[in-house]
Each structure stands twice: as structure tokens, then as C-alpha cells.
Structure 1
């Protein structure tokens, strides 16, 4: 217990920022308006896109215009996640036609843009309840992994992120699956709620790991510094960018 108390004290700034972000998300969820959700995700998307550009080492300001244009189109298009494949086709066509097109410019549309398109599609297709379910699973995966790892972690989970432990990863997935299943019962049957929560939690874990890989490759500790105690927006949403697509695919495939 003393370990937990000390951990909370050492990360008070992180918890305060997290609480404020959670309050904003809950308020938006209660209002439950498509434009507001699109606007909120759009703001987070543009900040995350900017941070990803830096991680990928891309310096091309014109690309922000296309990112913004993509998000505006997503507001009107009935299946936002389809737009990623449209972008991929356009990039491949430009590359084939010019033979000099910088293929690296596609990377921030692969990550994080595709993940945000799936998050918008999740809300569009399955409602605000699905986003709250996602929030519960991803948040508890993160929280469980952090505290279980601090208390019982001994074995390194992966060289990509040496601070993560096997015990923490398992603890986070178990906690998220249990509570995620209970929350999911308001939307789907028990079996589906369990399967979706489990796989979404695992996807979230690897979403966090992937961003750690990008940061390690770029030689930085955080993707940004705009969120006190958390780093950048990409540091805060990394798990959702893998978990969101996983939940959309599972809900569409199982229901």
C-alpha cells in the first residue's frame, strides 16, 4: 500500500492532468453530439499528427493542410475509416506517377490518422457507449499495467520499452478485461463483451508499445510537452489508436 501511495504522490501532476482530460471527455460524452465529438477528436488528431511528424522526422508544412482536409471530409463521409484506404490509393498513385514522391509523407496518415478515423467511425456506427467502453478498457489497461508493474514487476516485457514488465502487462489486461466485460454488457452479450474487451486491451498494450518504439527511434522521451505529466497528445492516445480499430473490426465482425 505504501508503494501505491508514494507512486501517486510522485505522479500527482500526471493524475491532475488525467483527471481534467477525463472530465472533458465525460462532459462531451454526456452531451453526445456528433459535431462536438468530431471537433474534439479533430483537435487531438491535429496535435497528434504534428507530434508524429516530428517523430518520423518529416518537415513538410503542406502536409498539415491535407490532414485537416481529410478530417473535414470525415465529418461528411458516412464511413470515416474508409478514407484511409482512399488516401493510401492516392499516395500510391502519386508515387507511381511521379516516381519521385516522398513515400515517407504517408507515414503520419498511417499513424496516427488511420486510428483517429476508426475512432470517429466507432462513434458514428456504435454510439457514445462504445467510446466509453473503449475508454474503460484502454484506461484500465494502462492503469493496471502501471500499478501492477510497480508493485510486482520483475521480468522485462519487451526491449522496446524496458520499464514495462510482464507482470504489469498481464495485470493491466486482466483488470481491463474484467471491468471492460462488465461495462460491455450494457451493449452486447457476455461472450462478446469478454472477447472484445480482451482483444481491445491487448491491442491497446501494443499501441503504447508502438509509440514507445517511435520515440526510442527518434531519441526522445515524450512525443511533446503540452500535457503536464503526460508529455504530448500522442503519449496520451497511443493505446486508443490500436484499440479503436480493433474494437470497430470486432464489433462489425461479431454483431
Structure 2
């Protein structure tokens, strides 16, 4: 019991610090600072993904750093992922010695962070806040509804997740997300976007759980006391951000 209380206390303290940091960065609203923040998170995530994908080579850091540097100047950062993929494929075809697993961190988490940067670049910091509210409310709603009335297992990847909890999380996200939605959207469209992004965040969480189970680890890292690694905290955003950007480009 004492360990549970201590862990919960640490988790809450870390969560408060993260929230305050996000509020400060959002208030400053600087593209450079946001690029630097996402870039730092990406490089830490690459380190964590190396463990999940069992990668030994450190060359992935160089490729990722160069890609992220270019992303600062290019108007559509997510496009660059295809350039790097072509570079990987070309080396693989020419040398026949390139580790094929290097493609995996390119897709997860690098592509997702590029989409998050594009989301901020195109729609501003308030849209990132909208995404944060959707993912956070999905997690919170799913937790409380699942704990109170959850009985039916959602899937084998995450045995603790229930269908009732998932529905509760999505409904919570649809309600709260609509309140923080882009002003250019109608209420109906805001509800639809919030709902779809909420579902995407759930599967982002499931994908991270799957990777950790395959790698035989509890957390992707330990940089965030009580929370684990960067990937443990951003898994829902890494899927949700991609889906939100695509949807907003369709409806706006």
C-alpha cells in the first residue's frame, strides 16, 4: 500500500510539472520553442524505440537529427519522411547491409512527431490544446468508466481495457473536445473529429502496449518518474495527431 501511495504521489507531481511546462510553452507560442520541444522529445523517443525494436546501431540518431533540422525550414515537415525512406531504401538496395529495422523508428515515432509539428504550424497552439484535451479526456473517461462498470474485455493486447471504458472515454472526449474545438468548425464536425481522434488515441495506446509486450518491458523508459518514458506518455498523441491533421485538412 505504501508503495502504491508513493508511486501515485510521484506520478501526480510529475504530471503537475508537465502540465505547467505545457501551459508555459503554449503561452509563449513560439515555433522555434515548439520545434525544439518536439525535437527533444523525438530524440528521447528514438532512444526508447531502439529498445522496443531491438536496434543496436546509433546511426538512427544522425538520420533523425538531420531530418528534424530540415523540418524546421520546410513548410510541410511530414513530407520529409518519404525522402528519408527513399534514402534508407537506396542504401539497403546498394549495400545490402543496412538493418531493415531502421525503417521502424522512421514510422514510429518519427513520422508522428513530424505530423504534430505540421499540426502546430498549420493550425496553431490552440489545436494542440484541443488534441491534448481529447487524448487526456479519453484516458480519464476510459479509466473511471472502466473501473466503475467495465466488464467486457476490449482486446487481448491490453487486458485491463474494457469496451465500456473505451466507450466512456470516447464519449468524454467528444464532449470536452467539442468545447475546445477549432472555431471554424461546426458543432457536428467538431464532435465527429473529436470522436475519431479519440478512437485513434486509444489504438495509439494499444500499439505502444503491444510493442512493450513484444519487447518484454513494462515501460518504454524511465525519464518521467511515475509515468515511464516519453513514448508511454505520448502514445495516444502520436496516433491522434496524425488523424487530426488529416481530418482538419479535409474539413477546413
User: TM-score per shorter chain, which class?
Assistant: over 0.9
- In structure 2, how many angstroms separate the alpha carbons of the residues matched to 1:147 and 1:210? 21
Q: Give the TM-score normalised by the residue count of structure 2.
A: 0.95
Alignment of 1:140-179 (within 5 A): 140-179=137-176
1:115–1:245: 8 Å Cα contact kept in structure 2? yes
1:224 equivalent in structure 2: 221
DSSP 3-state at the match of 1:11 = helix
1:14 equivalent in structure 2: 11
Between 84-93 and 170-179, report the one with greater CA deviation. 84-93
Q: Spell out structure 1 runs of 4+ moving beyond 3 A.
A: 7-10
How much does 1:163 deviate?
A: 1.4
1:129–1:187: 8 Å Cα contact kept in structure 2? no
1:52 equivalent in structure 2: 49
How much does 1:104 deviate?
A: 0.7
2:80 equivalent in structure 1: 83
Question: 1:185-241 CA deviation, whole Å, 9 max, x = no partner?
Answer: 534221221111011000000000000000000001100111111111110000000
- In structure 2, how many angstroms separate the alpha carbons of the residues matched to 1:154 and 1:116? 35
- In structure 2, how many angstroms separate the alpha carbons of the residues matched to 1:202 and 1:93? 36
1:250 to 244, 247, 250: 247
1:198 correspondence with 2:200: no
Between 238-247 and 64-73, report the one with greater CA deviation. 64-73
- In structure 2, how many angstroms separate the alpha carbons of the residues matched to 1:11 and 1:152? 23
Between 41-50 and 237-246, report the one with greater CA deviation. 41-50
Question: Number of matched residues?
Answer: 249
Q: Which runs of 5+ in 1 are unaligned?
A: 1-6
Question: 1:7-35 CA deviation, whole Å, 9 max, x = no partner?
Answer: 99973322221121111111100110000
2:28 equivalent in structure 1: 31
How much does 1:95 deviate?
A: 2.0
How much does 1:132 deviate?
A: 0.5
Question: 1:72-126 CA deviation, whole Å, 9 max, x = no partner?
Answer: 1111111011111111222222222223321111100110000000000000111
Q: Give the TM-score normalised by the residue count of structure 1.
A: 0.93
2:61 equivalent in structure 1: 64
Between 110-119 and 150-159, report the one with greater CA deviation. 150-159
Q: Which runs of 5+ in 2 are unaligned?
A: none
How much does 1:164 deviate?
A: 1.2
2:112 equivalent in structure 1: 115
- In structure 2, how many angstroms separate the alpha carbons of the residues matched to 1:184 and 1:232? 29
> Is the alpha carbon distance of 1:207 and 1:127 closer, same or farther for their aligned partners in structure 2, counting shifts above 3 Å?
same
> Is the alpha carbon distance of 1:21 and 1:77 closer, same or farther for their aligned partners in structure 2, counting shifts above 3 Å?
same
How much does 1:43 deviate?
A: 1.0
